Structure 1
Amino acid sequence: MTVPQRVLDIMHTPGLYFCGDPEMDEAQLAQMKMLHELNATTPGDPRCNELLHEFFAEFGEGAYVELPVRANWGCSTHWGAHAYANFNLTLVDDGEIFIGDHTMIGPNVTLVTTGHPVRPDLRERIAQFSEPIHIGHNVWIGANVTVLPGVTIGNNAVIGACSLVTHDIPANTVAFGTPCRVVREINDHDREYYWKDRRIPDDI
């Protein structure tokens, strides 16, 4: 089942909306069944790659996701070419998620596009809002990172493990912490050393 455009428009349009629409429920159930089938595939099963292309909005050439993966929808997440995600990725993708080419995502990362109003009576009515997440080209997101709604992470940025990303992170920077903050720009030291005092071999 292809998710109806009307359902996508509800989720992808800025502003509050209310869950419980029968057409939305039916579409999400179909996506959840497909996700269950995907996570049940065995290593090397060609059906896995077929399902990845069917489940996600886009799945670029050479992209790879370690299973299991969890997602609210799947059809709102766009993968660039050669992007990679380690196991236990969680996508709260009622809103759209864009993951750039060659981006690497560590284990146990959560990307959250959706929130709920603080006002209690609206939450009782299952009100929510969704804002897109944009992750640029060649980004590295470390293990156990959480990215919140509306965040943009620029090209080549590195997000340290266990960070909570609440605001945009500019390109070509190293950032970490709770909340995540830019610590420094990527610099000449990084061109010579791959980790601490470990020098990159000349023949690489």
Structure 2
Amino acid sequence: MTEYEKMMAGLAHLPAEKELKNMRKRAREIVFEFNRTSPNDDETQNKLIRKLFGQADETTSINAPFHCDYGINIKVGKNFFTNYHCVMLDNGGITIGDDVMFAPNVSLYTVGHPLDVELRNEGWEQAKPITIGNNVWIGGSVVILPGVTIGDNVVVGAGSVVNKDLPSNVLAFGNPCRVVREITEQDRENYLRTYQPDR
């Protein structure tokens, strides 16, 4: 297996290998161009993201600056939006559903390093995928760790560190992140009342 194949299979691999280094160089060039593109040039920004990501379309919207390792391992659905300073270390693959939005400073880390110092100093690492469902809102400065799956219709509160899977239809927050409660129809009613007090 190549080091890239090992990486994508979740096996220990050496990121300093030539193929992986070249892939990261390609991503950095595109990211550099994206981050210095005028914020009013939506067409060029979107074109660069579609070139960078493994899956994106004309509805993808990203506020610069943005950073990632490979880009090609990121797949986003319809109407994906992320605010400023998003970081996606996509070594293990990141899959995001439709109608997902990130607040500023959201970080997705699919990769980690050995606890053993000798192995860590030899340059080994291992990656696990992150999967996010449809209709998810991730609050500001949230960190999502390797191997996490987040279900549909989830809201993750600001400042959370998500180290375990979250089921669908829940509000979750904290460090470590935990499910606080289900999101229900009552949340819709409560929100609408703030704009229509006579409801």
Q: For the superposition of Structure 1 and Structure 2, which TM-score range results when normalised by the shorter chain? A: over 0.9
Q: Which has the higher strand share?
A: 1
Q: Which runs of 5+ in 2 are unaligned?
A: none
Counterpart selection for 2:19 from 20, 23, 36: 23
Alpha-carbon deviation of 1:127?
0.6
Q: In the alignment, which residue of structure 2 is the partner of 1:42? A: 38
Counterpart CA distance in 2 for 1:38 and 1:7 is: 28
Say if 1:193 and 1:200 are closer, same or farther in 2 by CA, change over 3 A: farther
1:151-166 counterparts in 2 under 5 A?
151-166=148-163
Q: In the alignment, which residue of structure 1 is the partner of 2:78? A: 81
Alpha-carbon deviation of 1:49?
1.4
TM-score (norm 1): 0.91
Counterpart CA distance in 1 for 2:3 and 2:13 is: 11
Alpha-carbon deviation of 1:199?
2.9
Say if 1:7 and 1:126 are closer, same or farther in 2 by CA, change over 3 A: closer
| 2:27 partner letter | Q
SS of 2:191's equivalent in the other structure is strand
Q: Over aligned residue pairs, what C-alpha RMSD do you find?
A: 1.8
Q: Indicate the percent of aligned positions where both proteins have the same amino acid.
A: 38
SS of 1:193's equivalent in the other structure is helix
Deviations for 1:140-184, whole angstroms, at most 9, x for unmatched residues? 100000000000000001100000000000000000000000000
Counterpart CA distance in 1 for 2:13 and 2:34 is: 29
Q: In the alignment, which residue of structure 1 is the partner of 2:93? A: 96
Counterpart selection for 1:136 from 133, 136, 146: 133
1:1-204 counterparts in 2 under 5 A?
8-45=4-41, 46-194=43-191, 199-201=194-196
8 A Cα contact 1:60 1:83, kept in partner: no
TM-score (norm 2): 0.93
Kindly tell me the number of residue pairs found equivalent between the two proteins: 196
SS of 1:75's equivalent in the other structure is coil
Counterpart CA distance in 1 for 2:14 and 2:103 is: 32
Q: Which has the larger displacement, 152-161 or 18-27?
A: 18-27
Counterpart CA distance in 1 for 2:3 and 2:53 is: 15
8 A Cα contact 2:71 2:90, kept in partner: yes
Q: In the alignment, which residue of structure 2 is the partner of 1:3? A: none
SS of 1:59's equivalent in the other structure is coil
Counterpart CA distance in 2 for 1:200 and 1:168 is: 34
